[in-house]
Chain A
Amino acid sequence: MKTKTTTTLLLATLFLPLSSFATPRDDLLEQYATAAKSASPAFSGFSAARGEKLHVTKFAGGKADTPACTSCHADSPRSAGRTPAGKSIEAVAVSVTPTRYTDPAKVEKWFKRNCNDVLGRECTPLEKGDWLSFVISQ
């Protein structure tokens, strides 16, 4: 009987993080929201639609061979992309690649590199939150 209780408790502990704590993705979104709010008091939440627009828009400020996110990531967020060096990139959509955006440092690293390549500047917290909301929704 005691073993059973212990097992149940152990199992419960295992599933606890899934149910009651925020995932790394939620944490990231919250961080971006806080930063977006302090940048503009009018901030009223992220928009997946704005994120999608950011994802497909061609910009002129970055590198000539990567005007848009879709230059390397595929046109569809659910398809695999390809780097200029030929390496395959896992689809950006969370539904296709569930392991994505769970390491905040990695997310920040790639936002920094990719925004510089595409836009010629770092992305704002609003842009990051919008884009993240878009790929989470996909």
Chain B
Amino acid sequence: MKAIALKIPFRPIVLGLVVLFFSGILLERAQAGGGYYYPPVADPVVREECGGCHLAFPASMLPKRSWTRMMGDLKNHFGDDASLDAATTERIARYLDANAADSGGQRYGGKLIRGVSLEKAPLRITELPKWVREHREITSAEWKAKEVGSKANCVACHTDAERGYYDE
């Protein structure tokens, strides 16, 4: 009997593998919500009080030491007097501390505060090295656009920011 020469179709297999590889990368990104997910504030009091003037920024965007510093001086909150009664202040401080970027389990928060010296307690999310790097392509004209107006106005570009997604 004549041996059957096994003809392996290399080309389609390699092509198939390449396609699979890239789909895998895409899928992983899609599962990660396009890249950046910071759980929105879950506590209704925190949401109400911190979301009065600006988006209630996710606790995982700053380390504990930053939140402690901020909650200790609400009277001078970026030029505004945002002081609250003691009980409310305490409740917000506790929530922020428990959910801060360095509280553990904060995938993107942990990355966001990389490069921040442990001796420093930055108050502005927009001054974190990682934040600056991620936004380096935004021109000053774009920042000044009427719909944007402020770097604190995440939703102007990240339309899903209220739900925690900060994609491009």
Listed in ascending order, the chain A residues whose CB lies under 8 Å from chain B are: 63, 82-87, 113, 116-117
What's the dominant secondary structure at chain A's contact region? Answer: loop
Docked-complex contact A86 and B51, CB < 8 angstroms: no
A-chain residues with CB within 8 Å of residue B132 when the two chains form the complex: none
A-B interface, 8 closest residue pairs, ranked by CB to CB distance from nearest: A86-B153, A85-B54, A85-B152, A83-B53, A86-B150, A85-B150, A86-B149, A87-B54
| Interface size band for B | 10 to 19
Q: Give Cα A67–Cα B54 distance, bound, in whole angstroms.
A: 20
Is the Cβ of B81 less than 8 Å from the Cβ of A83? no
B93 within 8 A of A: no
Number of A-B contacts (CB under 8 A): 32
Return 19 A-B CB contacts under 8 Å, by A number.
A63-B79, A84-B53, A84-B150, A85-B53, A85-B54, A85-B150, A85-B152, A85-B153, A86-B54, A86-B148, A86-B152, A86-B155, A86-B156, A87-B51, A87-B52, A87-B54, A87-B55, A113-B82, A117-B80
Q: Which residue of B lies closest to A86 (CB)?
A: B153
Q: 1/0 per position for B70-81, CB-CB distance to A under 8 A?
A: 000000000111
> B155: which A residues are within 8 A, CB to CB?
86
Query: Complex Cα distance A104/B107, Å?
Result: 40
Complex Cα spacing A54 to B9, Å = 82
